[in-house]
Amino acid sequence: MAHPISAFQAAYISIEVLIALVSVPGNILVIWAVKMNQALRDATFCFIVSLAVADVAVGALVIPLAIIINIGPQTEFYSCLMVACPVLILTESSILALLAIAVDRYLRVKIPVRYKSVVTPRRAAVAIACCWIVSFLVGLTPMFGWNNLNKMRRTQEPNASQEFVITCQFETVISMEYMVYFNFFVWVLPPLLLMLLIYLEVFNLIRKQLNKKVSSSSSDPQKYYGKELKIAKSLALVLFLFALSWLPLHVLNCITLFCPSCETPHILTYIAIFLTHGNSAMNPIVYAFRIKKFRTAFLQIWNQYFRCKAAKNATSSTTTAEPGN
């Protein structure tokens, strides 16, 4: 029988639903903008679409599953594991998309002349496919055996059935050794550090080019690198927000693993979870305020599909009201 939802759980669910309601439409708008605007069709924006797809899935899939886990239903072990794994897949997909974006920006400033011949649409598509394949392999590793099933069986009575029912919680089925040693130390922290180094090198290369004394006839390179600097700053901000949102939860996981006697306040865990989910809603806001091409595309979508409809509805309602006057 289901337990009644407490006031705290109701507040948690309300915040999660609010995050989903911002994240899903915002990232759909990003995908829509890239689809309709020819100026947003290069490799960088394809990787941004991959990131937006992961963020849509966080709002539409991961947040509902997180709410289910928070309620703590009684399920079979592998059913609970299937509910817990999607967030691992989508987190890794986001990290690899951000890494692909960083590498792409590096190539744009390192080999500007040969960039279009090196980063072709076909190669970008292959890179995106590889990112998703790796994400599924990393995120589904607990399904392949690195989980808490054996640990739970050891605590089970000898005559208990194989298919035992558990209270579904993330920490119940997902091994903290997997989360810290494999997920964080191999697939989260090194890519973040690598991206930090890549962006530092990108800014270094751009500033070197901008500081060169150029003749009046060499304004195009200055304009090119000036534009690259603005976009690199915006995408570095996306990376910074991702790290800021995800590192607290991973630090809490490290504390749980390395200091079992340490008690982490539940409110800190919930704040860390809100940060991870809320990160999916941040990127469209960054694009709208920081990248002119996106801002233009968003305004174009608004004027073409929403503003006109709102004006038509207002006109029709006025026309309907006139005979009664």
Q: Domain ranges for the chain, please list them.
A: 7-306
Mapped onto helix, strand or coil, the DSSP state of residue 74 is strand
pLDDT at 162: 54
Each residue's pLDDT tens digit in the chain (325 positions)? Answer: 455 678 888 999 999 999 999 999 999 999 999 998 888 888 889 999 999 999 999 999 999 999 999 888 899 999 999 999 999 999 999 999 999 999 999 999 999 999 999 999 999 999 999 999 999 999 999 999 999 998 888 876 555 555 678 899 999 999 999 999 999 999 999 999 999 999 999 999 999 988 875 544 445 677 888 889 999 999 999 999 999 999 999 999 999 999 999 988 989 999 999 999 999 999 999 999 999 889 999 999 999 888 766 555 655 554 454 554 4
CATH for 7-306, among 3.65.10.10, 3.30.420.40, 1.20.1070.10, 1.10.10.1200?
Answer: 1.20.1070.10
Distance separating alpha carbons of residues 27 and 12, to the nearest angstrom: 22
Query: Nearest Cα to 84, choosing from 166, 157, 17?
Result: 166
Query: Nearest Cα to 43, choosing from 93, 143, 113, 117?
Result: 117
Distance separating alpha carbons of residues 206 and 229, to the nearest angstrom: 7
The torsion region of residue 2 among left (phi > 0), alpha (psi -120 to 50) and beta comes to: beta
Mapped onto helix, strand or coil, the DSSP state of residue 227 is helix
